[in-house]
Amino acid sequence: MSNGTLQVKAISGHAGTVPGQNTSRDYDVCKLIDVTTCIGCKACEVACLEWNGYPFRETVFDNTYQTMPDLAWNYYNLIRFNEHTAEDGTFSWLMRKDQCMHCADPGCLRACPADGAIVQYSNGIVDFQQENCIGCQYCVTGCPFNIPKFNAETKKVHKCTLCSDRVGAGLEPACIKACPTGCLHFGSKDDMKDLAEKRAAQLRDHTSHKSAGVYDPQGVGGTHVMYVLHDINNPEAYGGLPKDPQIPLLVRFWKGPLKWIGNLAIIGGIVAAAAHYVRFGPKTTEEETKS
Amino acid sequence: MSAAGTVPRYTYRERMMHWLTALAYSYCLLTGLAFYSPHLYWIAQVLGGGATSRSWHPIFGVGFFAIALWMHSVWHRDMRMTDTDRRWLDKMQDYARNQDAALPASDRFNAGQKLFYWLMYYGAAALLVTGLFMWFPEYIPFSLAWIRPLMAVLHASAALVTIGGFIVHVYMSVFFVPGSATAMLFGNVSAAWARAHHRLWYARTTGSGE
């Protein structure tokens, strides 16, 4: 990204090849979450708060491992916990790190009316610019993952930035750095896809998770946050991950055809009124006719 | 009838009522258009910025509805559609072509005005209800998330319908029917105007059988 122009091409007096010489730095970034190795330690939650400078929120104990019921404007990253009984009667704890998915076709951005409040970087990060946010929450309407959260006090909407400030400086997101099990990975989308498919194949071949797979929903053009799931056929079990997320059809209609129909109707109405005036002119009354 | 051949048409209260709804509607129209199209977002900047516009738009909207209710309490009797109005509506094309001779006589408001009134009245109600959902989307649970875009589409559609009415209303009062705008500003119309446009009302209020 920003360091692309500073990629080392040659090094003086250096034995061997230049490190990373042939790797492409012009990539789409991607976070890969292998839920099969997540232990629910919440180091990512803490790292997220620390990097973004938010205080720890009040937790809500619901007799499970979940920190609180939902994400919040100052809590971008939450481990979703679910006690799951499979069809064969086996019981498991499902933990999923929930945060913005950084869709390639972001519904939030499509819905947003404020100039510059949501930007999508060429590396795939979708970022909210609070200084341009008007607090209308259309992004909440557009998001199929229930991610953007409203701060009622400042009237601004917040969500995971994929640590655009860190990634822009060549660092990995804070959550990645904090993960102790290596369940979080970060790199180019191609590399992460490759890694994810390998891991899913490994699960299918060597464990009982015969339907393990990679979650990279194409309904939103693919995402820059992917999951490896034990059971790709039942993403809903992981704290309500939608099976086939789409930007709501009504949002597309609202932001597409309705806009053009409306624009044409308004302009047509004004033109028709002017044409009518030219054709028929104003009404007259006896008095005015006399004078 | 007063000395100068004028007839009082709108009381001070009625005129205030009208101009307050006009103000509230215009504010909502302008800021709403700014949210509606990126090409019109500059309107929000002119009116104090996007965030300011977003804060005030729903408040002015509630104000618009509240004054509309007040207006309704004053005007709803005058706005009732009659059989004469239905006959008038059948001949609306003649009215639009300035061939008024064959039209049935109108009371205080003609059928076109009544149509506009009811369009704005129900439009205001629809905008209020759908607008409330858009005002506080965070209280709609995610399992009912489909309500949010539905309300947004209905809100925009209702707004477009009222804009259609608004264009016709402004065109007719300012350009097409001279004397209407001044009537709403100063309250009076000429006797000739009243006779020409609202014969029944003229006869009723002045007692001149015609």
Residues A114 and A167 in one domain: yes
| CATH number of the CATH domain containing A218 | 3.30.70.20
Q: Hey, is A98 helix, strand or coil?
A: strand
Residue A4 inside a domain? The answer is: no
Each residue of B89-101: pLDDT tens digit? Answer: 999 999 999 988 8
Domain boundaries, chain B: 8-206
Q: Are residues A125 and A168 in the same domain?
A: yes
Residue A264 lies in a domain: yes
Closest C-alpha to A116, from B136, B137, B50: B50
B27 touches chain A (CB under 8 A): no
B5 pLDDT band (50/70/90 cuts)? confident
Q: Note whether A188 and A62 are same-domain residues.
A: yes
Asked if residue A273 and residue A162 are part of one domain, the reply reads no
The pLDDT of residue A235: 95
| Set of chain A residues whose Cβ sits within 8 Å of the Cβ of B193 | 285, 287
Do A103 and A196 lie in one domain? The reply is: yes
Q: ipTM score of the complex?
A: 0.90
Which residues in chain A are closer than 8 Å to B156, comparing Cβ atoms? 254, 258, 262
Q: Render each residue's pLDDT in chain A as its tens digit; 291 residues.
A: 445 556 677 788 888 777 767 665 567 899 999 999 999 999 999 999 999 999 999 999 998 889 999 999 999 999 999 999 988 888 999 999 999 999 999 999 999 999 999 999 999 999 999 999 999 999 999 999 999 999 999 999 999 999 999 998 889 999 999 999 999 999 999 999 999 999 999 999 999 899 999 999 999 999 999 999 999 999 999 999 999 999 999 999 999 999 999 999 999 999 999 999 999 999 987 655 444
| Counts of helices then strands in chain B (DSSP H, E) | 10, 2
C-beta separation of B7 from A287 below 8 A: no
Q: What is the pLDDT of residues B61-74, one digit of tens each?
A: 999 999 999 999 99
The matching CATH number, chosen from 1.20.950.20, 2.40.30.30, 3.40.50.10860, 1.10.3720.10, for B8-206 is: 1.20.950.20
CA distances from A123 to A30, A162, A287 (A): 9, 11, 73
- Considering the domain architecture, whether residues A43 and A135 belong to the same structural domain is answered as yes
Give domain status of residue A148, yes or no. yes
pLDDT of residue A43: 96
Question: Same domain for A181 and A108?
Answer: yes
- B 48-87 near A (Cβ less than 8 A): 49-51, 53-55
Do both A99 and A190 map to the same domain?
yes
Whether A147 maps to a domain, the answer reads yes
* Angle, helices B147-170/B111-135, rounded to nearest 10 degrees: 150
Give me the DSSP letters along A185-213: EEEEHHHHHHHHHHHHHHHHHHSS-TT-E
Q: What is the pLDDT of residue B101?
A: 84
What is the span of the domain harbouring residue A169?
A: 26-246
Query: What residues of chain B lie within 8 A of the CB of A108, using their CB?
Result: none
Closest among B118, B130, B87 to B105, alpha carbons compared: B87
Closest CA to A53 of A184, A177, A176, A174: A174
Residues from chain A contacting residue B47 (CB–CB below 8 Å) = none
Q: Which two tokens stand for residue A3?
A: 């360091």
pLDDT digits (tens, 9 = 90+) for B142-168: 999 999 999 999 999 999 999 999 999
pLDDT by residue (tens digit) across B7-46? 999 999 999 999 999 999 999 999 999 999 999 999 999 9
User: How many domains, chain A?
Assistant: 2
- Contact B51/A273, CB-based, under 8 Å? no
The pLDDT value recorded for residue A25 is 57
**Quick one: closest CA in B to A253, which residue?**
B153
Measured distance CA(A286)–CA(A279) in Å, rounded: 21
Task: State pTM to two decimals.
Answer: 0.89
The pair of three-digit structure tokens given for residue A253, joined into one six-digit string:
């209609």
pLDDT mean across residues, chain B: 93
Instruction: Supply A112's token pair.
Output: 């947003």
Nearest CB to A285: which of B163, B168, B192?
B192
Is residue A13 included in any domain, yes or no?
A: no
Rounded to whole angstroms, how far apart are CA atoms A139 and A159?
Answer: 11
Residue B42 · residue B34 · CB < 8 Å:
yes
Quick one: which of A246, A202, A198, A241 has its CA closest to A222?
A246
